[in-house]
Structure 1
C-alpha cells in the first residue's frame, strides 16, 4: 500500500475502480440486454468498463423473463442430488444442432438446474459419466441472473462448462487467472501528483483519477470474449469495490477494508493485493476411482503485500500485513452468505467447480474409462459456437476517501486465480463412495439425460 502524508490533512484516500461490460451477441436467440449487464457491469466500444445502469438491469431482466421457457416436470422440484448424464447432455446438444438450428432448450442451457457439482460417477456399463449436485427449477432475479426458484443461487451455465472443458490444457500449463492492475506509468504519475499536493480539496478526486489513468485487465487460460471471462472480471471488480468502501457490503460480517483500519498509521509503505482462489478439501474418491466428491467451500480470499518501486514497477514481498489478512479472512468466512446476496460470487464458485471437474476428468482419464466422446462439449472443432462478448481491456480509476488520521492510502490490484489441476491432484479414499455410486446410477429408471 502506497502511503502519503500531508501536513494538517486528516484523510485516508483509497483509489480503486469501477467497471462495466457490454457486447454484441454472436449467437441466434440471445437477448440483447444480456450483453449490457451480466455481473452488474458493462463495456463500451473502446473496451473500457463502467457500472451497468439500473434501467439496463431492468430491461435485461424483462428480456430474460420473456425468453424463459417453463421449467418442465420434475426439473422444478428442489432436490439435494440431481444427476446429469454427460452422454445425454452431449446428445441433447447434438439434437439441437441438427433439428433446431442450434437453439438450445433452457434445460440444456442451464444444465438441468444444477447449482453446484458435488459428485462425479463413472458409469462404465453405459459408457457415461454422471455429474450430480443440488438442483431445482429456475427463474430470473431482479438483476437478470438465472437462479434457483427457492434458493436464489445461480444455476450452472452450459456455456461456462464448455469453456472449462475446452481449457483444461491451458489450466494445466498456467492456470486460469484474471487481474486488474494500474500501469507503471500510472503509478509514477500518481506519486508525482501526490508529492505536489499541499491540501485536501474537491480537486483531489479528479487529480488522482487522471494521474492514475486507466488500469489494465489481464485474463489468461480462457477466451477473453467468453461469459466465463466476464465472471472472473466482474467478481474481481466487486471484491475490490466492497474492500474499498465504494459499494456497501451486502453481508454484516464483511465490512470494508477501510472500516477495519484503526488509523492510517496502521498502513505500511506497501500495497495489499487481494485475489480469489480455489478453496477445496482433498477430493474424496472410491477405491476403484469411479466415484468422486468435490468437497469444501470452493473459494477463498488471499492477500500479499506488494512494494512499488520508483519506476512504477511492482514486486511481491512474500509478506502479509495483519489488517489485509483480517479482511481476506472475513471474506472467506462470509463467502457462502456473500454468494447468496451477490450472485457474481456464486457464479465464480460455479466456474471454479467446473474447472476442478474438468481437470479431474482429464487427469484421471475418466472419459476414456467410460469410452465417452463429448464431441459437442469438449472438441475445439465442435459446431457449438459460444456467444462472444466484447473483450474488457481497461478499467477507469475511481476514487474513495475516508478520514483515517493524516495519511493518504492508495491501493488497487488483485485478481482471480483458479489452479484447478492442483486441487484435482489432492485426493483421498473415502469409505462408502462406491456404494453411493451404485445407488445413484441405479436410480435412473426413466432413461433420460437427467434424473432426481
Structure 2
C-alpha cells in the first residue's frame, strides 16, 4: 500500500521556515526514524557554540553524563573563592568608577573578582551619587563556577554571571560625550545564491520522491544552501557580547525547528505547523527584541530599576522568488505566531534552565542601562570620563573569533505530503527605545529612590563592591 507523507527538512542555523510542496511516496522506515531520534538526542545535549579562526560557527557538546565533571568544578570553586564573595546576596553593589580606578591601580591586571563583577547575576538597579562620583550597578550575586563547557555560572543558582567584558562593550556603545548606538543586531541568513541553488535543486527532484531518497535530498539541500551568513551590527563582532547574541539566535532556531529539545515544556514550530497553511515559497523569520517597557526611574532621576524579563520573540513572514530574493508576506502563519508567543511566555523558564538565554537577557539589561547612563548624563554628573574602559588599547575586549558563517545542517522527518525548509532571523535591539517617555515607568511608591538612599558608600580604600 502506498500513501503520501511529508518530508519536513529542517535547516539549522536559520530562524524560520519556508515550505515547498513535494509529493512523496511510501512511509518512513524504522531505520530513518531511529536516525532522526538519535540526531535530536545528540543536539539536545548541546552546550554552546564554538567559532573557529575562519569565523565558522559550530555546535559544541561537552559530555558529562554523570555530572562528575561539574561537581568537581563546583567543589574547586567553593574551596578557592573567598567566603564573602561566594555567599549569595540579594543586592550586591558594584561602583563602576571605583572598579575602573582599582584596575588602573593594578596596572591593568584584572582579577576574577573584577572579571565577573563580584558574582553579579543580573543588573537590577543603577544608582548615581554625584557627591562622591559613584555610578553603582546593583543586583543579586553569588560566587561562580566555570562549567566544563566554559560558561561562568552562579554556584547555587546556575545563572550566568554578568561579565565585565560585556559591560565594557555596552558602555562603549553609549560613551560620554558621543552619540549612542541606535541599533544592535545579529542575523543568520542564507545567501540569495544559496536560496536560488536550493530552488534549482528542488526543481531537479521533480514532483515525486520516495523515502529511499531522503538522504539524497538532505545532502542536496545542505550542499545547495551552503554556508549561511552571520551579520553583526552595532557591536564589535570579535567580542563575547557578539558570540552570545549569535548563540542565542542559533539555539532558538534549533528549538523552533525541533533539533534541540528545550529544557521546558515548549511546542516547537514544526510540531505546530499545518503544511496545508504554508505557501510553496514562504519563509518564516523569528527575532529576539527587548521588552522596552522595562525601566522605572525615580523622580529625581538618580536611580533606575530594570523590571520584567526583558526579552520577546517576534516573527515576520516572507516570500522567496526563484532567484533567491525575499519580500514581506501579507499575513503571518498561525503556527509561527503561536511559537513566538509561546517562546516569549516561556522565556523566564528557559533562561533559568538554558544559560545562553539568561546571558542574552543580561546583555539587553546592560545596553539599556548604558543608554540610560548617557541619556541622564550620569557620566557628567559623576565627572567620569571612562578613559580606561573606553579604550580598546587599554582594556581589550575584542579578543574572540568573529562569527561569520554557519553551515546548513539538515535533518528529515515525515509529516503530511510537503517538503519544508527553515530560514532567517536574528536579534534586534534599539536600547534608546526603552527610554522614551511612553515606555518609562514611574517610581510611584518611591521604592527605587528609597533603595538608593539606603545604600551606604562608606567604603575602605580600594574597595569597589559591597553587600
TM-score, L = length of structure 1? 0.86
Shift of residue 236, structure 1, vs aligned partner: 0.7
C-alpha separation between the residues in 1 aligned to 2:275 and 2:13?
24
Question: Relative to structure 1, is the Cα distance of residues 247 and 92 closer, same or farther in structure 2, using a 3 angstrom cutoff?
Answer: same
CA–CA separation in structure 1 for the residues paired with 2:62 and 2:133? 48
Of residues 209-218 and 418-427 in structure 1, the stretch that sits farther from structure 2 once superposed is 418-427
Identify the residue that residue 153 of structure 1 maps to in structure 2.
159
Change (3 A) 1:424 1:444: farther
Q: 1:434 to 1:45 in 2, by over 3 A?
A: closer
Contact 2:292 2:433 in 1 (8 A): no
Q: Counterpart of 1:238 in 2: which secondary structure?
A: helix
C-alpha deviations, 1:120-147, integer Å up to 9, x for none? 1111121111111111111123432111
Tell me the residue number matched to 1:177.
Answer: 185
Q: Offset at 1:311? A: 1.8
Structure 2 match to 1:83? 93
1:226 deviates by: 0.7
Match of 1:15 among 10, 16, 24: 10
Matched, 1:325 2:337: yes
| Map 1:412-423 → 2, pairs under 5 A | 412-423=423-434
The reply on whether 1:44 has 2:52 as its aligned counterpart is yes
Larger mean CA deviation between 66-75 and 423-432 belongs to: 66-75
1:386 aligns with 2:397: yes
What stretches of structure 2 of length at least 5 have no aligned partner? 15-45
Give, in angstroms, the shift of residue 272 of structure 1.
1.0
2:81 to 71, 74, 89: 71
Partner of 2:238: 225
Match of 1:34 in 2: none
Quick check: 368-377 or 413-422, which moved more? 368-377
**Which of the residues 157, 162, 168 maps onto 1:162?**
168
Verify the 8 A CA contact 1:93 1:376 in the aligned structure 2.
Answer: no
Show the counterpart of 2:110. 104
Q: How far did residue 52 of structure 1 move?
A: 1.8
1:268-299 deviation line (CA, Å, top 9, x unaligned) = 34211001111142521111110111112111
Q: What's the CA shift for 1:358?
A: 0.8
Distance in 1, matches of 2:76 and 2:104, equals 22
Residues of 2 paired with 1:255 and 1:142: CA distance? 29
CA contact (8 A) 2:171 2:370 kept: yes
**Contact 1:43–1:390 (CA<8 Å) still a contact in 2?**
yes
* Matching of residues 34-433 of structure 1 within 5 Å: 40-54=48-62, 70-96=80-106, 98=107, 102-168=108-174, 172-197=180-205, 198-200=208-210, 201=213, 202-252=215-265, 254-261=266-273, 263-269=274-280, 270-317=282-329, 319-377=331-389, 379-380=390-391, 383-386=394-397, 388-425=399-436, 426-431=439-444, 432=446, 433=448
Which structure would you say has the larger Rg? 2
Cα contact 1:87–1:372 (8 A) shared by 2: yes
Number of equivalenced pairs: 421
> Do the aligned partners of 1:115 and 1:134 also contact (CA within 8 Å) in 2?
yes
Moved more, 309-318 or 418-427: 309-318
Q: CA deviation at 1:171?
A: 9.0
Gapped regions of structure 1 (runs ≥ 5): 1-6, 20-37
Q: Deviations over 1:292-336 (max 9, x none)?
A: 111121111110101112221111236422211110111111111
Q: 1:171 to 1:268 in 2, by over 3 A?
A: farther
Query: TM-score, with normalisation over the residues of structure 2?
Result: 0.83
The 1-side partners of 2:129 and 2:341 are apart by 40
Give 1:35's aligned residue: none
Alpha-carbon distance in structure 1 between the residues aligned to 2:322 and 2:442: 52
How far apart are 1:66 and its partner, in Å?
Answer: 11
> Secondary structure of the residue that 1:126 maps to in structure 2?
coil
- Cα displacement (A) at 1:163: 0.8
Q: CA deviation at 1:191?
A: 1.1
SS state of the match for residue 417, structure 1? strand
Deviation at 1:221, TM superposition (A): 0.6
SS of structure 1 residue aligned to 2:169: helix
Going from structure 1 to structure 2, the CA distance change for 1:61 and 1:77 (only over 3 Å counts) comes to closer
- Alpha carbons of structure 1 residues 141 and 444: separation in structure 2 relative to 1, 3 Å: farther
Is the 1:274–1:304 contact (alpha carbons within 8 Å) kept by the matching residues of 2?
Answer: yes
Please say if residues 13 and 188 of structure 2, whose CA atoms lie closer than 8 Å, have aligned partners that are also in contact.
no
CA distance in 1, matches of 2:180, 2:415: 44
Report Cα offsets for 1:34-57 as digits up to 9, x if no partner: xxxx96112334322222243699
Across the aligned residues of Structure 1 and Structure 2, the Cα RMSD in angstroms comes to 2.9
Give the match's secondary structure for 1:125. Answer: coil
Preserved contact between residue 94 and residue 465 of structure 2 (Cα < 8 Å): yes
C-alpha distance in 2 between matches for 1:266 and 1:335 = 27
